[in-house]
Structure 1
């Protein structure tokens, strides 16, 4: 979205037109809506803008729930925005630390600032992109204690600010079709700036879950957050925003609730043992936090290979931190033999998981020529020097 498009959208007529549209879905007849709106005298640019916003609002339901129906977005802003339940956890840290005035630097479309303001705190949000900052103004308009500035994090006035939340830009600039920045030195603002700020004020820093662990400072709490099985972020928390005695955390959020595994450091490795009746696949947040050893011991399980994050035991223990599978057969990792075995078992629906082997599951699936009415899970992995395929059924 360009500035001219946003200015047209933010007129009373533009917003009224947007809010008059039916909820967007895959069944929406876009051509019919475009035709009707154009016949009513609306410009082509405004029609395109409101339809884009309607589509983004529908997509944003997954992150913002019902709040999405009153918010504005850019495609890149929505993709990078914190999910509202996760943002609420961020805001809770500032509340528990007793801070009342927070700066959200690199606020994007305002997701975290929205949660901070919703928690009753005063928040000053800053973004370097003019369009994005203007959208944040709209999204925060219901909160009089929230202000937004267009500017860089480095130049933000932090007078009177008690704590900082910082989300460095980790994608190329723009509102659509941005690309991920793979080098931390290309982040904006830089990590040096972010860590320097953390030395002065209580600070939370949002980073990608795959962030290089070697760059994590020793004086912070590192928390990996998983939502619905997807690891969505790494949060680094400094000063009173960090919890005493916790340096590593894996937080699992599911529709049923939240579960957390914490430790004062990376956990020691679990022992390696033979394949048992059950196989466990740790949640990605547990793997990223390097708490696999602690999890294995809590399950009474052992590792199948010291370098691969699969665990096994003879007994089943249900855990929110790992998916459990009952192992039925073990085969050599040979596609022809596997195709024959799966055909013999009438397996036509197959979930394929792999670790420790250089295989493209999509290409491997084609070679299996699946057909049948049964379903199963196939693990392609390595146990010691052996490449194996484990046929299993998910039990939780």
Structure 2
């Protein structure tokens, strides 16, 4: 989006047009656009408004009902922090006694909105003019939030604040930037601001190598509804517990796991298998989880846990084992047919298997649905027939 389109959108006419549109329907978008232009609406504004209608529909997954009053850019929506995660960020600053925050990379303003909603004074920096206009619209409800157009790395040190948050860009037209040195701005440059602003938080890619995590900070990996969505580095008073932590957010709230045990013993297959949440795995806390829950690994190199008793924990997804066998396609298919299985959910870890290729090879026609876990148990390729436990 260019600045001209953004100015059209944030104008009174633009906001009125967007708010008047019906719920987005891709099949009718072209016809609706023609109708609006026929009634005298500016063609550029119509195109921009219809795009916003689509983006608002897509944004509901991240922002819920708030999306209906927000404006977006495509890149901004894709990179924006989810509402419930942004709220967790804001609570850190509030609980650490921070009252004035610089958001160095505002984007569409998601984190700045959460900080402002928590009662903090926010200066949101954005280097792109169109995106800054969008962020300014999204922050319009909070008098203590302002958007500054310019390079935050130059401007922010000149303005007083108690804390800083940054979400460096990690995408280009060619894909993701996995090396923190390639972030924009680079991670090391952001971390250097700790000398000026000790209360510093930086959102990073969840695939960040642990070697890039400085000592003395809290590195937290976050999952929402089972999907790992981010990692963040929290410095100074924002670090609740230096080291690695995992935050698992689900329908029942947010659950935090911290610890230092990164290794677990392996043992015999029990009656139940547990798949640790991805945030726990990324944080290197499978050993801590095993210690906490009294479970052990299926295999020294595989992040599956097992026990002889059912386990209630927000940090795992559990399965009751019905049958175990060496992994070979024909015996596996026969075992599934004997149980009248017609649909399988295939999970695999540590074995070179493609679920999309395995599923048709099984040729199932029954009425029962089961889970097949293909993994290694004590070094042997193994297929586990299982049924999921109710999510705890």
Q: Tell me if both proteins adopt one fold, taking TM over 0.5 as the criterion.
A: yes
Q: CA deviation at 1:11?
A: 2.4
Q: CA deviation at 1:291?
A: 1.4
Q: Give the match's secondary structure for 1:155.
A: helix
Aligned residues: 388
Distance of 2:262 and 2:176 partners within structure 1 = 33
Per-residue CA deviation, residues 279-331 of structure 1 (Å, 9 max, x unaligned), is: 01000111111111121122221111111100111111111110110011112
1:385 aligns with 2:384: no
Q: Give the match's secondary structure for 2:193.
A: helix
Structure 1 partner of 2:81: 82
Distance of 2:377 and 2:244 partners within structure 1 = 28
User: Which runs of structure 2 are paired with 1:345-384 in the superposition (5 Å)?
Assistant: 345-384=339-378
Structure 1 partner of 2:71: 72
Please list every run of 5 or more consecutive structure 2 residues that lacks an aligned counterpart in the other structure. none
1:270 aligns with 2:270: no
1:227 aligns with 2:224: yes
User: Which runs of structure 2 are paired with 1:245-256 in the superposition (5 Å)?
Assistant: 245-256=241-252
Match of 2:275 among 281, 284, 287: 281
Normalising by structure 2, report the TM-score: 0.95
Asked if the contact 2:178/2:208 (under 8 Å) is kept, the reply is no
Normalising by structure 1, report the TM-score: 0.94
Structure 2 partner of 1:2: 2
Q: CA deviation at 1:376?
A: 0.7
Please list every run of 5 or more consecutive structure 1 residues that lacks an aligned counterpart in the other structure. none
Q: CA deviation at 1:246?
A: 4.0
Greater mean alpha carbon deviation, residues 34-43 or residues 311-320: 34-43
Asked if the contact 2:221/2:230 (under 8 Å) is kept, the reply is yes
Greater mean alpha carbon deviation, residues 59-68 or residues 39-48: 39-48
Structure 2 partner of 1:48: 47
Q: CA deviation at 1:25?
A: 4.9
Structure 2 partner of 1:200: 196
Q: Give the match's secondary structure for 1:154.
A: helix
Structure 2 partner of 1:309: 303
Asked if the contact 2:105/2:125 (under 8 Å) is kept, the reply is yes
Distance of 1:320 and 1:9 partners within structure 2 = 42
Structure 2 partner of 1:291: 285
Asked if the contact 2:106/2:124 (under 8 Å) is kept, the reply is yes
Q: CA deviation at 1:22?
A: 1.3
